[in-house]
């Protein structure tokens, strides 16, 4: 499959191969798991506001479903392609297995810049995309969720489109929905909260104090902004944040609630808000800080800048932010890496809670969600740490190997059909 062969997909496969090699994974299984189980490419004609029809390309890739329905977000971004979606789907498989959720991995995407569409155009694009991927999705088959460029409104339109097709309200078909249609308390900030929970464990492990901790965060979308807020509430000093246009730095700590208010409500460009000094994204990555959280797109920390990083802990809020070469450089430098499939798993963990509540039609309190999230993600952190110490390997390899092993067990036990 030629279209799969992109940079990000090769990166995900190389990472998988390294883990598969280290764990002596069965060769036949290796052949299967380095490819997605099912990939769908769709054309999405959309009537634009000026009357002309524009055709967008969309994807839904299910990497694996041996352990349960496949699960993963939908990304709207101009750079989306089949290889990237397939890489993200593969990471979802390992992520769900590592957290012990009864899910396989999937991902979807549309090649579009959502910021350039009107609300009407966005709704028509979403509904047509949902109609095109309809045969693949469903509460027992494949359950989408938000990702870069999508939000609860987009999920509501997908839920409605699916429900219209089958003739009744199906809440469990997507997660990350508004509360009024079966969304869960605590889903909105779940990824950021998870990043903070695992960072707290890493600080404890390294015998560092939260009160002396400084944090720099790349990306100020759903993951970055909630991570910033919850880090501050937990007692850390958030000294820098950024979005794609650049960032802000304040050595005394940024006033995150005020920053968020002006960013969200007044839509002021981040680097122009006078709560700190403007810095570039590259400068942010190289700041002297305790914790660096890349919470934007993949492959931001590369062979070119990794040696300049000055953080003690790298907590990967984004999927795939660190290239293989950068990973080696950081490991040599002694940076403690909390890998993406562990650090950002809070999102899919609370998605799982949302889906359970939807299918049982029984809803939980906010405290239940937070406690259960902390319980699951903290145990996953300690299992990974234990594995890495026992097997003398990195946190990333430990996380990948434990995830892959659970998927492999499921495949071996189910056997090959026919
Ligand atoms: N898009 C998020 C991720 O990459 C959440 C996926 C989900 O909740 O299914 O983990």
Q: Ligand 1: distance of its center to the CA of 154 in Å?
A: 14
Sketch the domain layout of the chain as residue ranges.
7-177, 190-343
Q: Ligand 1: distance of its center to the CA of 199 in Å?
A: 19
- Do domains 7-177 and 190-343 share one topology? The answer is yes
Measured from the Cα of 175, ligand 1's closest atom is 8
Per-residue pLDDT of 165-191, as tens digits, reads 999 999 999 999 999 999 999 999 999
Q: Domain 7-177 classified CATH 3.40.50.10860?
A: yes
95 is catalytic: no
317 lines ligand 1 (CB under 6 A): no
The residue to mutate among 221, 295, 339, 347, having the most atoms of ligand 1 within 8 angstroms of its beta carbon, is 347
Q: Ligand 1: distance of its center to the CA of 175 in Å?
A: 9
Count CB-CB contacts under 10 A for residue 41: 13
Q: Ligand 1: distance of its center to the CA of 145 in Å?
A: 6
Distance CA 292, CA 285 (A): 7
Mean pLDDT of 324-350: 98
* Burial zone of 331 (CB within 10 Å; 0-12 exposed, 13-18 middle, 19+ buried): middle
- Using a pLDDT cut of 90, give the percent of the chain over it: 97
Per-residue pLDDT of 16-34, as tens digits, reads 999 999 999 999 999 999 9
340 lines ligand 1 (CB under 6 A): no
Residue 1 has pLDDT above 80, yes or no: no
96 lines ligand 1 (CB under 6 A): no
Q: Domain 190-343 classified CATH 2.60.320.10?
A: no
Mean pLDDT of 329-337: 98
Per-residue pLDDT of 46-103, as tens digits, reads 999 999 999 999 999 999 999 999 999 999 999 999 999 999 999 999 999 999 999 9
Q: Ligand 1: distance of its center to the CA of 27 in Å?
A: 29
Mean pLDDT of 300-319: 98
* Closest CA relative to residue 117, chosen from 176, 163, 49, 55: 49
The model's pTM:
0.98
> What does the pLDDT read at residue 239?
98
107 lines ligand 1 (CB under 6 A): no
Measured from the Cα of 71, ligand 1's closest atom is 9
Residue 38 has pLDDT above 90, yes or no: yes
Q: Ligand 1: distance of its center to the CA of 119 in Å?
A: 23
Among the options 71, 107, 111, 177, which is catalytic? Answer: 107
**Tokens standing for 78?**
């101009």
Per-residue pLDDT of 313-323, as tens digits, reads 999 999 999 99
Mean residue pLDDT across the chain? 97
Measured from the Cα of 319, ligand 1's closest atom is 4
* Burial zone of 53 (CB within 10 Å; 0-12 exposed, 13-18 middle, 19+ buried): exposed
Per-residue pLDDT of 339-387, as tens digits, reads 999 999 999 999 999 999 999 999 999 999 999 999 999 999 999 999 9
351 lines ligand 1 (CB under 6 A): yes
**Tokens standing for 394?**
């990195």
Measured from the Cα of 344, ligand 1's closest atom is 10
């Amino acid at each position: 499959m030629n279209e799969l062969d992109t940079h990000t997909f090769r990166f995900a496969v190389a990472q998988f191969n390294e883990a598969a090699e280290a764990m002596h994974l069965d060769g036949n299984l290796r052949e299967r798991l380095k490819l997605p189980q099912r990939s769908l490419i769709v054309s999405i004609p959309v009537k634009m506001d000026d009357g002309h029809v524009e055709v967008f390309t969309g994807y839904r890739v299910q990497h694996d479903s041996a352990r349960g329905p496949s699960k993963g977000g939908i990304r709207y971004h101009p750079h989306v392609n089949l290889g990237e979606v397939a890489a993200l789907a593969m990471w979802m498989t390992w992520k769900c297995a590592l957290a012990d959720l009864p899910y396989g991995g999937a991902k979807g995407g549309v090649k579009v810049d959502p910021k350039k569409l009107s609300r009407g155009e966005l709704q028509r694009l979403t509904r047509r995309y949902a109609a095109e991927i309809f045969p693949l999705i469903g509460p027992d088959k494949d359950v989408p969720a938000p990702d870069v460029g999508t939000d609860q409104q987009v999920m509501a339109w997908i839920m409605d489109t699916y429900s219209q097709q089958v003739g009744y309200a199906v809440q469990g078909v997507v997660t990350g929905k508004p509360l009024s249609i079966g969304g869960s308390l605590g889903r909105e900030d779940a990824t950021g909260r998870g990043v903070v929970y695992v960072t707290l464990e890493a600080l404890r492990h390294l015998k560092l104090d939260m009160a002396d901790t400084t944090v720099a965060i790349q990306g100020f979308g759903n993951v970055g902004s909630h991570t910033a807020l919850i880090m501050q509430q937990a007692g850390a000093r958030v000294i820098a944040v950024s979005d794609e246009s650049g960032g802000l730095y304040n050595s005394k700590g940024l006033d995150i609630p005020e920053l968020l208010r002006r960013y969200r409500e007044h839509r002021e460009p981040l680097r122009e808000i006078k709560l700190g000094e403007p810095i570039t994204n590259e400068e942010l990555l190289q700041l002297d800080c305790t914790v660096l959280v890349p919470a934007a797109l993949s492959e931001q920390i590369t062979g070119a800048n990794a040696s300049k990083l000055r953080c003690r802990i790298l907590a990967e809020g984004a999927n795939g932010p660190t290239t293989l070469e950068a990973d080696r450089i950081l490991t040599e430098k002694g940076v403690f890496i909390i890998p993406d499939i562990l650090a950002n798993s809070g999102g899919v963990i609370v998605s799982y809670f949302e889906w359970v509540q939807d299918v049982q039609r029984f809803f939980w309190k906010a405290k239940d969600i937070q406690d259960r999230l902390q319980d699951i993600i903290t145990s996953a952190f300690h299992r990974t740490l234990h594995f890495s110490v026992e097997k003398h390997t990195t946190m990333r390899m430990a996380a990948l190997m434990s995830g892959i092993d659970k998927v492999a067990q499921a495949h071996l036990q189910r056997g090959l059909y026919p």
